[in-house]
Homo-oligomer: A and B are copies of this chain.
Amino acid sequence: MKGLDKILLAHGGGGKLTAQLVREAFLPLLDSPVLAQLSDSAVLPELPPGRPALTTDAFVVEPPVFPGGDLGYLSVCGTVNDLAVSGARPLWLTFALILEEGLDGALLQTFIEGAARAAKEAGVSIVAGDTKVVPKGKGDRAFAITAGLGVVPRGVDLGDLNIRAGDRLLVSGPIAEHGTTVVACRHGMAGSGLRSDCQPLGSLVQALLDSGVALRAMHDPTRGGVATTCNEVALKCGLRCVLQEDSVPVGKEVAAVCDLLGLDPLYVACEGRLLAWVAPEDAERALQAVKSHPMGANAALIGRMEEASPGSAPVVLSTRFGSQRPLDYLSGSDVPRIC
């Protein structure tokens, strides 16, 4: 991207500078033959048998570069993960950017490189894109918006409605690392040993699917964290989710920084952790399958589903002291712009 110092309005105008930006900044880094055709749509090979899965995410993370990731890397991981937890094999992605006039060209390059790296790790191709530029003061450096297409193979049927009382809940690793890292950066605590958990979960999910356990549903606990995701699930399946405080893995640094900032790790986003609901008889086998994968070394069984009883909260935390604390939905926006 030689000579690209600052992003100008004309880089989003659809003319010469847009074409140059695409040809010199995006195409060489993203290394995608379909994208390189620069058609109005990416026309792809016929899909393997199964149901297509489609998803989208907008990313406005602040700061846009943080330990363990950046806007581009995060946006590709986020969309790959939404596909993976639906039981889909992630295949094709789109990548759109809304840039603020004056954005540093090197920072844009960081985002594109991050997206390319995540796509490579996840085994997906970025096949379509769009770039718009807004005047200085009408954006915030860069927003990234990804969409993803995958295929749920025939025979795979996951969903919250499959969850039964007695099912166990597994998390693939320590929680809250992404959100805590981003918030720590904003408080000048980036050097606190924290690192985002941001990573593409496709291969971990595949390992779990391949293990043949009776898997009911999967989610990745992003905005709102584990507590909010569990509330959404409990609401859908009409059961109660009981989390064991003792069992939830939380890193030492994350616990310390959350304590300092008044955050509850259960409400802070992960961007590379898997929540999986599994039949009780297969729970240990599922745990071993996840632990055998490099991304799941610190996985744990953290909860179980129960019949809902009138008047009880949909999600409760069994504390170290033996009491039960209701875990409601995230009510405000404790940690804005973490994704």
Per-residue interface assignment for chain A, residues 213 to 253, with 1 indicating a CB less than 8 Å from any chain B CB and 0 otherwise:
00000011011100010001000000000000000000000
A109 vs B140: C-alpha distance when bound (angstroms): 24
Contact of A40 among B8, B39, B219 (CB under 8 A): B219
A43 pairs with B47, CB closer than 8 A: no
Is A56's beta carbon under 8 Å from chain B? yes
B residues near A1, Cβ cutoff 8 Å = none
A223 vs B243: C-alpha distance when bound (angstroms): 52
Copy total for this chain: 2
A319 vs B54: C-alpha distance when bound (angstroms): 47
B13 pairs with A41, CB closer than 8 A: no
The stretch from A83-91, A255-263, A278-286 touching chain B is A83-91
Per-residue interface assignment for chain A, residues 138 to 160, with 1 indicating a CB less than 8 Å from any chain B CB and 0 otherwise:
11100101011110100000010
B residues near A148, Cβ cutoff 8 Å = 41
Contact of A329 among B15, B55, B87 (CB under 8 A): B15
Shortest A221–chain B CB gap in Å is 10
Contact of A14 among B16, B42, B95, B224 (CB under 8 A): B224
Is A276's beta carbon under 8 Å from chain B? no
Is A336's beta carbon under 8 Å from chain B? yes
Per-residue interface assignment for chain A, residues 68 to 81, with 1 indicating a CB less than 8 Å from any chain B CB and 0 otherwise:
00000000000001
A57 pairs with B96, CB closer than 8 A: yes
Is A307's beta carbon under 8 Å from chain B? no
B51 pairs with A44, CB closer than 8 A: yes
A42 vs B150: C-alpha distance when bound (angstroms): 10
A130 vs B284: C-alpha distance when bound (angstroms): 35
B residues near A86, Cβ cutoff 8 Å = 39-41, 43
A40 pairs with B82, CB closer than 8 A: yes
B residues near A334, Cβ cutoff 8 Å = 13
Is A60's beta carbon under 8 Å from chain B? yes
Per-residue interface assignment for chain A, residues 120 to 138, with 1 indicating a CB less than 8 Å from any chain B CB and 0 otherwise:
0000000111111111011
Is A46's beta carbon under 8 Å from chain B? yes
B residues near A228, Cβ cutoff 8 Å = 14-15
Contact of A147 among B53, B133, B147 (CB under 8 A): B147
Is A98's beta carbon under 8 Å from chain B? yes
Contact A337-B54, Cβ < 8 Å, known A86-B39, A330-B13: no
B residues near A38, Cβ cutoff 8 Å = 232
Contact of A52 among B17, B18, B52, B53 (CB under 8 A): B52
Offer 27 A-B interface pairs, CB within 8 angstroms, sorted by A: A12-B336, A13-B223, A13-B332, A13-B335, A13-B336, A15-B223, A15-B330, A15-B333, A16-B330, A39-B86, A40-B55, A41-B53, A41-B55, A41-B83, A42-B53, A42-B54, A43-B52, A44-B51, A54-B92, A54-B94, A54-B127, A54-B128, A56-B147, A60-B134, A98-B145, A132-B339, A134-B143
Chain A interface (Cβ within 8 Å of chain B)? 8-10, 12-19, 38-47, 49-60, 81-83, 85-88, 92, 94-98, 127-135, 137-140, 143, 145, 147-150, 152, 159, 219-220, 222-224, 228, 232, 269, 329-337, 339
